[in-house]
Structure 1
Amino acid sequence: MKKNRKTFGMAMLCLLFSHLGFGQTLTLPDKVKYDIADSVLIKAPNGITLSAVVVRKKGAPLQQPTALMYFIYSDTKRSLMEAKYAADHGYVGIVADARGKRLSPDDPVPYEHEAKDVNLVIDWIVQQPWSDGRVAMYGGSYSGFAQWAAAKYLHPALKTIVPYVAAIPGLGLPMENNIFLLANYQWPFYVTNNKYTDDAVNNDGARWRAMRMKWWESGLAYNKVDSLDGTPNPWLQKWLSHPDYDTYWQSMVPFKQDYAKINIPVLTITGYYDDGQVSALEYLREHYKYRPNAEHYLIIGPYDHFGAQKGGIPNLRGYQVDERALINTREITFQWMDYILKAGKKPELLQDKINFEVMGANTWRHVPSLDQMEASKIRFYLDKTGEEYRLSPLKPVQGSFTDQTVDMRDRTTMNNDYYPDPIVKDEIDKSNGLFFLTKPFDTAVSVSGSLEGELKAIINKKDMDVGLTLYELTPDGQYFQLSYFLGRASYAHDSSKRKLLCPGKEETIPFYRSRVFSRQLKKGSRLLLMLNIDKNPFAEINYGTGKQVSRESMKDAGEPLKIKWSTQSYIDLGISSAEQ
């Protein structure tokens, strides 16, 4: 288990903090064929200065639409290559740096000002003689976030966005479903230590491993972790002061009715194994919730955070990806821009609003909504008969309970081994947690959508952090990881307002912000659900006192956490026969 969790930690760090993107080869522009401005300063009325590069192809029309990428990972060479690619495709190519980065004299401030700063860049663009007054934005991770931030105060010149693996600060990182993750810890140093990126800090894996394990073994409160590292982390402390998804976070991206005003076409791209998928799909769900007729398309397949930005890699964490799943994100992006801005042909893959690859079937499917990824849904109850734990499609006639005890002080074991690396395992750790199995499927079936449902439980404390992991258990005994959920029970009903559990009372804990997936299961396969409490070195530890979790320490643990899981608990999964 410890070996697997170590792998998880390093994978998360690599995926969340790297600014490298697309896999396609890019080249630098030359002064013979291109007009190049690599030191543009955009001075805003509010006194800040942003920097950018601008590349135009010589001989192009005097006025063109602009393809804009905005990012915090300043790198002049990469910016010029990005801008050249846009210029080669009939656009003015611009890559702008976030506040405080590259040539900006201001201080770097992650997340907090993009909603207005990106629109200042767009204001500048439309005032240039080469602009035709239309701007399209694209890019992944932080750049994806920046597009949605700009859409909060939608500029009339912004005509479309193409966000890949877009982050939502406060919802997907640095906390997920209100649980702060240590995998994000070094990121503020990485992007604020200098005007570019502090790669030495980012790549110091030994330092971060040692810090995590020292904190884990010490039992100190999560907000003391930087004292163990020896370097104060003011951004961590600021974020920890906002454990609710409150107005601090809400101000950074569209929130509720803001989505109703976003009337431009959107193409979202993410992956089943993207660490930030919950954010990318939250944007999509909220957009459709508040603007039901939104022209918002989704491409999703077996990609991680890197892979979604380039269109996949053949072997993903030990899983041999279907050939048809491998696409070209960059080409599709500019086809989409041509479709929206130049009356071009819609990208062939976009045959409906939701476009997803079925792992194992080597095929794409196209449906109007996430809820229609499969023809039907089946409710599976977390049942127990004797010593047998079952995922049963039959609701138990009489509710009963399954007991679980977790000593939050114990450091000899780690609970909740959920991170999908590798995706296909020969064995999984069953030393703790509860494991529920379906009967073998008598024919091949496809299972698609999110892992969602309701947990019902009685506990002896005021809170707990819950983990769920879904696998396909194949006939030959392999475990293929499909999805996982991680969340805090006290925020299950509202991420912006904590509601503590009442010890000794049965509580209902709904969940849906998990990883969406699609997989064709083999005949004879079974679904396996792991239910556990999250207790490991990779996230803050909830000791259940009801105090702010980041301030709890092992001294607050008290008696072990005792849970009585109701057999009325269930998950809902979209399932169809392979023939359907």
Structure 2
Amino acid sequence: MKTILQLLIFLFITSCDTENKNVSTSRIDENYLIQDVLITTQDGAKVSAIVVRNNKEEIPKPVILQSTIYVRDKGRDLKSLKESVDRGYVGVITYARGKYLSPDEIWPYENDANDTYDVIDWISKQRWCDGRIGMFGGSYNGFTQWASLKKPHPALKTIVPYVANRPGMGLPMENNVFINSNYEWAFYVGNNKHLDTIVGTDRQKFRNSMFTWWETGIAYHKRDSLDSLPNKWFQKWIKHPDFDEYWQKMAPYKEDFAKIDIPILSIDGYYNDSQNSGLYYLSEHYNYNPAAEHYLIIGPYDHLGAQRKGSKEISGYRVDPDALIDTNEITYEWFDYIFNNAKRPEKLKDKINYQVMGANKWKSASTLDSMSNNSFKFYLTNHKTNHFYSLSEKKPSENNFLYQEVDFANREIWNNDYYPGQIIRDYVDTGSGFNFISEPFENSIEVNGSFSGELKVSINKKDFDYGVTLYEMLPDGKLFHLSYIVGRASYAKDITKRELLTSNKIETIPFSNTHLVSKKIRKGSRLLVYVNVNKNPFSELNYGTGKAVRNETIKDAGQPLTVKWYCNSFVVIPIWKD
């Protein structure tokens, strides 16, 4: 039972708050004062927030802010906010415009940069805030932290983004190829004020419609007609296949990164689907601000694992015991380091801190590039033994090529088995594409970093989508998935502008936006590179006509795509040699 003193304190606090006119409800729960708040943005919209603070203390404190589109059950959100209070802070969570108590329309990504700035500005003026704000969280919550830095607010002192999304670069498209797994997510977050856990998570329904789209060959932009559920978000996204101003304005872009001078801790995973989003922020931050205080922790985690404590097993791979970390604990160690002059988290030995799979150890480096001290440059040869072609460190003396033919009208055959659904598997895909393999290693090495390369190709059409996947082939013949890229050839040189290929001309397709990894390659193992045309139900299908891909249909398939993969194509694999 609440005491009379508690009630008097509650009445005093709520009567003195400068934000009181925005408070919709207030209540005391044990030692916590909990308030639902509607914050008015500069353009007149309303953003819904929950504020939790200690109802027995009046001293202004640093505020720990979470900003998300996921309106989960309030018990879970309140637990997180109360933890911030228990650790000596004020806890605030805000939901994207249109969510929870906000009366506005829901458009993921589009308003978060301005809205989060306005939220930070409002918080900084409250009597319970000491003028210092930190942010943390993962996925969409990671994106909003970066979005807030499109125009940095002086009150924001640090962010801790986990597996941060970068709209237009990782989702809903990856290297300008739209990925189908993002389709139903729009319903999940956009259908109501909370989360549509019925329609938005009906995986079977959307999987069926995806296969119907694939089998019938209708235009990609008509995908939602198969569900009888108009998807206005999807329709808007697919009209922007370029990384154009629509995407650029959602988060820092180019010179925007030069203005970011707060300390940052990023956390990511080798098997996080959107890893190239999170590492884009890191790379661009250092590119435009070499003196940035930006740390990274990365290891064998998927999208969820990096936001929690990892997992003892991920997609069939039993991780090293040393890889298991407590993301939440490290986050609050970081906040204490920033706000309370505590020591820096022990895991941060240097700017880049990564777990070496198979070695049960962590290593640190000052930059992403210094994760490696050497590299292999392998050419894709036409020398074949059994099912595999050779990877050679010697550049071919002749301009030989491997020939591939892909019939887009044929829905029986899929190309490009690239996704690490199982990290360790027993089979090699020899049904399509080409596998190139190195000689066995006489000593163990580490593959550390992101592989890159150039594909030299000649095609009979104007465009195609490609995939390159990197594996370790273990001595017993099993494959260990290391990294991959899926991309569109016409955007290989500039993701902001499509440049069609010239039919039957040898073209150079550079690639570098592959997933970063660290793995000990044991003695007797080989490296295997798998190259293929991307043709399957799991992403948009590029028929190669040069028209907007979203409008192409099976009627545009025409003659099969022919590809000449030239043997002066190469991959560069960063390694560490002791």
Which band: TM-score by shorter chain?
over 0.9
The question of whether the paired residues in 2 share the 8 Å contact of 1:301 and 1:357 is answered with: yes
- Cα distance in 2 for partners of 1:151, 1:138 equals 13
Cα displacement (A) at 1:58: 4.2
Cα displacement (A) at 1:561: 0.8
- Cα distance in 1 for partners of 2:186, 2:252 equals 23
Cα displacement (A) at 1:349: 0.8
1:496 pairs with 2:496 = yes
- Cα distance in 1 for partners of 2:468, 2:309 equals 28
- Cα distance in 1 for partners of 2:300, 2:309 equals 9
- Cα distance in 1 for partners of 2:138, 2:82 equals 18
- Cα distance in 1 for partners of 2:324, 2:112 equals 32
Partner of 1:471: 471
Task: Look up the SS of the partner of 2:198 in the other structure.
Answer: helix
Pick the aligned partner of 1:73 from 67, 70, 74: 70
1:562 pairs with 2:562 = yes
- Cα distance in 2 for partners of 1:458, 1:44 equals 52
Task: Look up the SS of the partner of 1:144 in the other structure.
Answer: helix
- Cα distance in 2 for partners of 1:375, 1:30 equals 57
CA distances 1:414-463 after superposition (whole Å, capped 9, x unpaired): 11111101111011321111000000001111111112111111111110
The question of whether the paired residues in 1 share the 8 Å contact of 2:186 and 2:200 is answered with: no
The question of whether the paired residues in 1 share the 8 Å contact of 2:384 and 2:390 is answered with: no
Partner of 1:127: 125
- 2:341 maps to amino acid: A
- 1:332 maps to amino acid: I
The question of whether the paired residues in 2 share the 8 Å contact of 1:60 and 1:90 is answered with: no
Partner of 1:176: 174
Larger Rg: 1 or 2?
Answer: 2
Cα displacement (A) at 1:189: 1.0
The question of whether the paired residues in 2 share the 8 Å contact of 1:303 and 1:311 is answered with: no
- Cα distance in 2 for partners of 1:206, 1:499 equals 37
Task: Look up the SS of the partner of 2:450 in the other structure.
Answer: strand
CA distances 1:170-215 after superposition (whole Å, capped 9, x unpaired): 1111100000111101111111111000011122122011101100
- 1:52 maps to amino acid: A
CA distances 1:226-268 after superposition (whole Å, capped 9, x unpaired): 1111111111111111110000000101110000001111111
Question: Structure 1 residue runs of 4+, over 4 Å off?
Answer: 58-61
Cα displacement (A) at 1:30: 7.3
- Between 171-180 and 52-61, the greater mean CA deviation after superposition: 52-61
The question of whether the paired residues in 1 share the 8 Å contact of 2:188 and 2:201 is answered with: no
Cα displacement (A) at 1:531: 0.3
Task: Look up the SS of the partner of 1:535 in the other structure.
Answer: coil
Pick the aligned partner of 2:358 from 349, 357, 360: 360
- 2:85 maps to amino acid: A
Mapping for residues 58-457 of structure 1, pairs under 5 Å = 58-60=55-57, 62-75=59-72, 76-385=74-383, 389-457=389-457
- 2:326 maps to amino acid: N
CA distances 1:49-104 after superposition (whole Å, capped 9, x unpaired): 11111111344461100000000011322221111111111110111111010011
RMSD: 1.2
- 1:429 maps to amino acid: D
- Cα distance in 2 for partners of 1:552, 1:390 equals 36
- 2:182 maps to amino acid: N
Partner of 2:12: none
- Cα distance in 2 for partners of 1:476, 1:211 equals 39
Partner of 1:551: 551
- Cα distance in 1 for partners of 2:335, 2:398 equals 56
The question of whether the paired residues in 2 share the 8 Å contact of 1:136 and 1:160 is answered with: yes
- Cα distance in 1 for partners of 2:40, 2:464 equals 48
The question of whether the paired residues in 2 share the 8 Å contact of 1:34 and 1:58 is answered with: yes
Cα displacement (A) at 1:576: 2.6
Mapping for residues 515-530 of structure 1, pairs under 5 Å = 515-530=515-530
Query: Structure 1: which 5+ runs fail to align?
Result: 1-28
Partner of 2:22: none
Task: Look up the SS of the partner of 2:411 in the other structure.
Answer: coil
Paired residues, number: 549
- Cα distance in 1 for partners of 2:516, 2:355 equals 12
Task: Look up the SS of the partner of 1:171 in the other structure.
Answer: coil
- 1:132 maps to amino acid: D
- Cα distance in 2 for partners of 1:78, 1:250 equals 33
Task: Look up the SS of the partner of 1:301 in the other structure.
Answer: strand
Task: Look up the SS of the partner of 1:366 in the other structure.
Answer: strand
Partner of 2:483: 483
- Cα distance in 1 for partners of 2:379, 2:41 equals 57
Cα gap change, 1:350 to 1:551, in 2 (>3 Å): same
1:511 pairs with 2:511 = yes
Cα displacement (A) at 1:397: 2.3
- Between 56-65 and 343-352, the greater mean CA deviation after superposition: 56-65
Cα gap change, 1:49 to 1:294, in 2 (>3 Å): same
Cα gap change, 1:309 to 1:386, in 2 (>3 Å): closer
Q: Percent identity?
A: 52
- 2:450 maps to amino acid: S
Task: Look up the SS of the partner of 1:201 in the other structure.
Answer: coil
CA distances 1:494-518 after superposition (whole Å, capped 9, x unpaired): 1000000011111111111111001
Pick the aligned partner of 1:57 from 54, 57, 62: 54
Cα displacement (A) at 1:310: 0.8
The question of whether the paired residues in 2 share the 8 Å contact of 1:451 and 1:485 is answered with: no
Pick the aligned partner of 1:41 from 38, 47, 69: 38
The question of whether the paired residues in 1 share the 8 Å contact of 2:355 and 2:361 is answered with: yes
Task: Look up the SS of the partner of 1:404 in the other structure.
Answer: strand
Task: Look up the SS of the partner of 2:29 in the other structure.
Answer: coil
The question of whether the paired residues in 2 share the 8 Å contact of 1:161 and 1:267 is answered with: yes
- 1:449 maps to amino acid: G
- Cα distance in 1 for partners of 2:484, 2:519 equals 14
Cα gap change, 1:45 to 1:219, in 2 (>3 Å): closer
Task: Look up the SS of the partner of 1:152 in the other structure.
Answer: coil
**TM-score, structure 2 as length reference:** 0.93
Partner of 2:17: none
Partner of 1:575: 575
- 2:116 maps to amino acid: V
CA distances 1:6-43 after superposition (whole Å, capped 9, x unpaired): xxxxxxxxxxxxxxxxxxxxxxx972222222x21212
Query: Structure 2: which 5+ runs fail to align?
Result: 1-26
- Cα distance in 2 for partners of 1:240, 1:544 equals 17
